[in-house]
Amino acid sequence: EDAVGALVKLGFQRAHAAEALQHGRTRDGAVDWLCVHVPEDDLPARFMRRAEAPVVVRLDAAGERAQRRLGACGFPRALVQDALHAALAQTPDPDAAEARAADALVGRLCGHAAAGRSPADDAGSVQALADEAESLRMIFYGEEERVEAVGARSLSVALRPAGLRAADAAAFGDGLRLDVWVPPGTAYPERDAPVLALSLGGGGGGAMAAYLRLGATQALSRVRTCDGLPVVFEAVRLVEEQLAAWIASPPPLGALMRGLVGQRAAPPAEQPAEQQTQQRAAGRAKRRPPPQQAPAQRDVDRLADAFAQLQTQAAYRDMQATRRALPAHALRDRIVQLVGAHRCTVVTGATGCGKTTQVPQFLLDDALAQRRHARIVCTQPRRISAVGVAQRVSDERAEPSLGAGLVGYAVRGDSRQGPDTRLLFCTTGVLLRMLHDDAGLRGVTHVVCDEVHERSVDSDVLLALLRQTLERNRALRVVLMSATAQSDVFAAYFGAAPAVDIPGRTFPVDDVFVEDLARAAGAERVFGAALVGRARARLAHARGGSSSSDGDGDGGKDGAWLRRVDELRRAGCDDAQAASVALWDERYGGAANAASVDVAVAAAAVRHIARTADAGRAVLVFMPGVGEIRACIDALLADGGGASLAPVALHAGLAAAEQRRVFARPADGRRKVVVATNIAETSITIDDVGFVVDCGRVREAVRDAASGISRLATRFCSHAAATQRRGRAGRVAAGTCIRVYSRATLAQAMPAHGEPEILRVPLEQTCLQVKALAGHGDAGVFLARMLSPPAADAVARAERLLALVGACPAPRAPLTALGRVLAAVPADLRLAKLLVYAAAFGVLARALPLAALMACDRGLFHAPPDERPAMRAERLRFYAGAPGPAALSDWLADLRAYEHQAAGRQPPLRHVSRAAVREVKAHVRTLREALRLAGLADPASAAAAPASTPGSDAVLRALVFAGLSPSIVRVRVPPQRYHEVIGGGAVGVDREARELAFYRADAFAAPATWLAHDVRADLRVFVHPQSAMFDHAAYRVPFVTCFAMSATQGASSSAGGSGSGKVFMRDVTVPGVFAMLMFGPPLVVDREHRVVALGDTGAVAVRAWPRVAVLVNHLRRLLDELLRRKLDDPALPIADHPVVDAVLELIRTDGH
């Protein structure tokens, strides 16, 4: 009774409140039920649709009249509009359309379909209705106005009901009417009854509750024709006599409204939990590829015989002479003995010792000689390294082609291996996928991890997992190889593993620091005349005594600078050189200036080499990023440099064919200059390099644990990395390393070793891997046992995000079915989620290349600097979508361009990278296969993608949001401005993109202040100028999402938006409101305040009519449950499920 009273206080009828509690059980559940079932005109004021949000329907005058009449019967507005639109699609006659719509609505209300009618039966029905109207006027003599003909197929009769309570009679007044329609095809009165409904006020709504009108209409459905006689007068008498009784005892609300609001379908019977678990496990085992098994001994003997035969061939013997010349060969027997006797062995060796190519071959050759099975997996940190080393080893073994013999490779999107492959070079990520499929690595005898000193996240996770794998697979041997002298760290991690050090075969390398370069080449050639002039002036000024050298401010600064000048003079520099180096060092040296790279000095160093050394040996220049590489190449080519220099870029964003250009020697006598990132530090050997120019920087991803913002930070590289770079100059002969930094910077600003990647990057993907691979619900337990455990708050943040995306039910919990599938897809978990939803919704054909584009290391569009404007214009053409709608997404614009190019449409696109298209296609194959193994992809997903349409584009934007959620950015739009026009009045002024402000969602208010406009200014973000959305200003939905957010160097580490730095969204996608509601964080419905929030923080909230909010919330619950069942049983088809159809229709139309 208390619960009923609480609902009555909200404004609901007592009888309805009691009925609602039988269905909803809780107060909120009862309110939801009432919001859906109570006719909208009967809802309490706080739950009614507000006047400022009218439903706009484009109808002519007759259509609007029909809408008013049908609405006056109590039918919901939306159903009236749908019925009228459906009827108008069948007939252009407005009277006929109104009658058809009335027939459909009454049929829904009464639980029967509209009668099947034949146009042939329609001949006399219209005339019969007109004759009956005349008869009624004669019956109501003196009150003929009670009968009104409304068009040819309808009439309306005013009612005079008897026995009403005085209050009801006063409320109803003279507005009660019986409306009658004869739809096309009605045989009236011979066979069919007309459509009858009770209305009030000719469309005004009046004071009679809509549910009472609908109840009377439901009762009138029992009226039937009898012996071909008219029935309207009998229906009038029935209503006038029975209406008081109907009002006193109305039908239950649920039964009355069932046909109008729908009925919840009974869920399919659930199988017992134990049976579900067994079926899921069986399904996963069936889809998982079988583990590698040891081959039969006859295969081992066959390969051993082939190897013995190979050793007799001249090509093989010639290559062995080269192998024996490497320092590693002298320790061959020692390495084989240690690996055979111990579970883990650490091998260190200086650059050029041959450990990368030789140690795996030592193990393979020994196994073949002993006629023993061997399957060796050797990891490399980068794809180019894995492919390059595999090719080198294949050549050394004189194999006819890579992948056809014992040596192969496997990298993302590419693989060359066959049934005889026994030495597989792969990236660390590929081995992690192998561990995901088989935690024991059955069939694998050796795992060789190269370059473990780089301390990438994948490498550190792999080491921790291998410790567990060694316990499962007692036959497995692990070899850790490092180019730096950190063997004790790795040996201790694996329980006092033995170590062997291979001496390097490097030739002497001369070190030339920037002060040495200034002395050798001259200060003006190195730094430029402008800087040298400033340095001389400052030196004269400082020595003139006009500023103190022992205080704070400028005097103290000059005093330190003078001491630095004197130090350089004692080292052999003259005044101009010493002053110039000291002045240059103030800007480019020291820890505070790590982000500043002087490309001009690096180019000057290359030109000095070109002037003073023979042209036969190449130069390797290390730069931190692609931008600096391009700037350096431009500087080298300036002033005729291209005549003597042949610069070529090397970085991870290049296609394999472009990367291989670094190995070719110019045929025209020019000096090759390879300008590279740290990709060239290890594993890649360019034989003709004799000079290294090192800027001493590296660009690394850094993420602030508090804000979650990632940025690429330019830092000084470590001493160990600098030593690696230096060693590249002495691989084949004595060389020179020019260090574009001073000795002081090396000593004071550069760390001894680099920071492990796991301490500076987001951990969501790592935690997902750990939960899937290590079987730990609490990823922190596993990560705490790693070589360098990450901070607890960073792990906690990652765990919370995994819970938010649905990968686990709560932080530190095991993976859900969704989480297990996300872990099985070799992609960023956000892209994996996008693909899971796409598979469930049956739209993989376009979603696969979309996800592949987002995962691509290089952008789809590429152009030299002078063609960038043309490239942007070409890309914007696909964003604009002419003649269709705008893409409203960077990724969708790129997908349109990819589809154009991949399908060979005309005209071909000049600035779309063919290498990027190939990479996307390869990645699509990889992703499709992973989804197939997870049971989520079928052959249909390989079919040609459908053409871009507004509906399919909206679905793809929704899927992007589904994957990227909860990454939500709110658009703050300024108030509308108006421009006065001559003669009075004003017109709205279009907003410009620069007037908009974007804020991360957590910059906004808490639940107590839904939809508040006060924000934290330090959480502002900006659209990157390279985004296709940079100039977009018309945001109908004030929310966007982005995949990559990066901060400039000066951005605040705590938030990402203060100081001189900015946080940029490198891509922008505009989701629809219903996409956010269906695919975002769990919904929180505040019925009384008309708000639906995504999550419980209040950061993202939208206004919604309570009925819409309730329906959306229930549809979301049904969708979540359907997806859960789909993930538990991937074979379950849901693409045609009514819930999926409803969700897709909402997204395609955004509710309109």
Residue type, 3: A
Record the tokens describing residue 1058, joined without a space.
């203060």
Q: Strands 710-716, 697-703: parallel, antiparallel or unpaired by DSSP?
A: antiparallel
Residue type, 399: E
Q: Strands 407-411, 423-427: parallel, antiparallel or unpaired by DSSP?
A: parallel
Contact call for residues 35 and 1087 (beta carbons, < 8 A): yes
Torsional sign, CA 143, 149, 150, 155 = positive
Residue type, 174: D
Report pTM: 0.76
The rounded distance, in Å, linking the Cα atoms of 195 and 100 is: 9
Of 836, 15, 682, nearest to 355 (Cα)?
682
H or E element that contains 457: helix 457-472
Domain 297-502 falls under CATH 3.20.20.70: no
- Strands of the sheet with 499-502, listed across from one edge: 414-416, 407-411, 423-427, 376-380, 446-449, 477-482, 344-349, 499-502
The rounded distance, in Å, linking the Cα atoms of 936 and 950 is: 26
Peptide bond connecting 907 to the previous residue in cis, omega within 30 degrees of 0: yes
Between CA 644 and CA 655, with CA 649 as vertex, the angle to 5 degrees is 135
CA dihedral of residues 835, 836, 838, 842 (deg, nearest 10):
130
The rounded distance, in Å, linking the Cα atoms of 331 and 359 is: 10
- Sorted by where each begins, the domain ranges of the chain are 2-37, 61-261, 297-502, 518-588, 598-761, 795-803+810-946, 969-978+990-1149
Provide the 10 A C-beta neighbour count for residue 148.
15
The rounded distance, in Å, linking the Cα atoms of 1101 and 1093 is: 4
If the chain, 1152 residues long, is cut into consecutive pieces of 10 residues, what is the mean pLDDT of each piece? 85 87 84 86 79 45 83 90 91 92 93 62 81 92 91 92 84 86 89 90 64 92 78 92 90 89 52 49 51 71 92 90 91 96 93 89 96 96 89 93 93 88 95 89 95 90 93 93 80 92 85 96 95 94 62 58 93 94 93 90 96 90 92 89 88 75 87 92 80 94 64 86 90 92 94 87 89 81 92 89 88 89 88 92 92 86 83 90 78 93 88 86 89 77 56 90 88 80 71 88 52 66 92 87 77 43 88 91 84 77 85 93 90 90 90 72
pLDDT at residue 835 in the model:
94
440: exposed, middle or buried (C-beta count within 10 Å: 0-12, 13-18, 19+)? middle
Q: What is the CA radius of gyration of the chain?
A: 38
The rounded distance, in Å, linking the Cα atoms of 285 and 294 is: 20
- Strands of the sheet with 176-181, listed across from one edge: 147-149, 154-158, 176-181, 195-200
End-to-end CA distance of the chain: 40
Establish whether domains 297-502 and 598-761 are of one fold. yes
Residue type, 536: R
Q: How many residues does the chain have?
A: 1152
Q: Which residue has tokens 């309730």?
A: 1110
The rounded distance, in Å, linking the Cα atoms of 463 and 25 is: 54
Q: Which one-letter DSSP state was computed for residue 481?
A: E
Determine the 3-state secondary structure of 984 from DSSP: coil
Q: Which one-letter DSSP state was computed for residue 979?
A: E
The fold of 598-761 is Rossmann fold (3.40.50)
Of 257, 267, 266, 264, nearest to 36 (Cα)?
257
Contacts of 523 (CB under 8 A, 6+ apart): 532, 535, 576, 577, 580, 581
Provide the 10 A C-beta neighbour count for residue 1050.
11
H or E element that contains 1023: strand 1020-1023
